[in-house]
Amino acid sequence: MMSSTAAESALEAQSSTADRAALRQRFDRLLAQEGAALSRLAGSYSNSAGDRDDLLQEIALAVWLALPRFRGECSERTFLFRIAHNRAVDSLAHTRSRRRKSEPETDVPDPRPSPEADLVQQQQRERLLRAIRKLPVPFRQVVTLSLEGLDYTEAAQVLGISESNVGARLSRARQMLRRNLEEQS
């Protein structure tokens, strides 16, 4: 016959295994649903495909570590974007400090070819992304979240600002984007 302490330990082991499996399923589901959006968000904060992929890995790790603490005070999507936003800002700050200490980096374009049918659309996306990257970080953030379909409430929760501030930043960002795009023409 099993002692009560041994039985309690066995139950704890089973529940922690079940909890880990549920956490893994939730993590996999979130990344499957929002992976493309997170990749685009990471791309808006990086200058190369390699940097984007590195940032995306950092975001995934941060989500994995934070997911057990999710309390349901906002949607999972908002929670995910808040984590991604924080990692991207940290990465941006780290990159800036690293560039100050080393030689300027050269921008190496992504060598992967795109299909001819998508060439014009790809060029337009790249032009827009270049214009977005020129925006100051607070404006870049609201544009990126808006392009990912977050409403003012969700964007405000992700950025930790008011909804009216999101609207004001987005309006100003659109004006700056127009100017940036006109300059590129």
Q: For the domain with range 10-103, which CATH number is right: 3.40.630.10, 1.10.1740.10, 3.40.190.10, 1.10.357.10?
A: 1.10.1740.10
Q: Model's pTM, two decimal places?
A: 0.62
Tell me the C-alpha distance between 61 and 9, whole Å.
Answer: 29
pLDDT tens column, 84-138:
999 988 888 876 666 555 555 556 666 665 566 467 788 888 888 889 999 999 9
CATH C-level class of 115-185: mainly alpha
pLDDT in tens, 129-140: 889 999 999 999
The CA angle 56-57-63, to the nearest 5 degrees, is 90
- Give the residue range(s) of CATH 1.10.1740.10 domains in the chain: 10-103
Residues spanned by CATH 1.10.10.10 within the chain? 115-185
